[in-house]
């Protein structure tokens, strides 16, 4: 038979096991759960997504310019925040009115006006309220068959906000340049030479909705 001392040690061991089992029966905290069972916090849109949205927004300028008033509003609302969409619409309409008056002043019918903006390079950084993208692009504005197209190199700075898990344009600023020096051997084409190229589909499709 076991000695009294041995019985006491066995009893003490059983009590310790019972205490450990009781302590482990509590619901574990998130930190104690195996990694596979923990629920990861939902990830927001990435900076790569912000860059893609900014490039597509700049590339959509041709569609925005060609759209009617109602469809232009819908198009802008598809990629801008509810706060900024009406601001961008007002700016766009004002710029198009100024451009139309300029063409009319030169005796050119602006009804066939075409605008094409091609993003060349883009960079994006995180900011306190979201992301900021900078896009270097070239803008071509033309009235095919009536006047030589005009080009403008510019840098577009776009601020983006996270709206329900997707990036939306929340501010838009542009500054001229940097503008490359034209080739000294280059020749300017007649206006009709641009009719065909301007009728082709853009090489970069604008998908911002």
d(CA 19, CA 152) in angstroms, rounded, equals 78
- Set out the domains of the chain in order of their start, with CATH numbers: 47-199 (3.10.450.50)
Please write the tens of the pLDDT for every residue from 9-25: 334 333 333 323 333 33
Mean pLDDT of the chain: 80
Highest mean pLDDT among 20-24, 65-69, 147-151: 65-69
Handedness of CA 103, 106, 109, 112 (dihedral sign): negative
Task: Tell me: pLDDT of 206 over 60.
Answer: no
> Whole-prediction pTM value?
0.74
Please state, as a whole number, how many other Cβ atoms lie within 10 Å of the Cβ of residue 64: 21
Element housing 114 (H / E): strand 114-127
Over residues 74-116, the pLDDT tens digits come to: 999 999 999 999 999 999 999 999 988 888 888 878 788 888 9
């Amino acid at each position: 038979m076991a000695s009294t001392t041995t019985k006491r040690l066995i009893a003490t061991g059983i009590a310790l096991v019972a205490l450990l089992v009781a302590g482990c029966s509590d619901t574990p905290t998130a930190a104690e759960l195996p990694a596979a069972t923990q629920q990861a916090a939902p990830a927001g849109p990435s900076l790569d997504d912000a860059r893609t949205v900014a490039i597509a927004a700049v590339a959509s300028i041709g569609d925005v310019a060609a759209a009617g008033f109602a469809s232009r509003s819908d198009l802008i609302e598809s990629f801008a925040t509810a706060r900024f969409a009406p601001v961008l619409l007002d700016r766009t309409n004002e710029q198009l009115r100024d451009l139309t008056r300029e063409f009319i002043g030169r005796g050119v019918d602006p009804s066939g006006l075409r605008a094409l903006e091609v993003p060349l390079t883009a960079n994006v950084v995180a900011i306190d309220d979201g992301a900021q993208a900078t896009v270097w692009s070239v803008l071509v504005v033309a009235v095919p068959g009536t006047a030589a197209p005009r080009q403008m190199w510019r840098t577009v700075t776009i601020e983006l906000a996270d709206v329900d898990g997707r990036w939306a344009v929340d501010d838009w600023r542009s500054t001229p340049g940097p503008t490359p020096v034209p080739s000294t051997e280059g020749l300017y084409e007649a206006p009709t030479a641009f009719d065909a190229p301007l009728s082709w589909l853009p090489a970069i499709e604008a998908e911002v909705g």
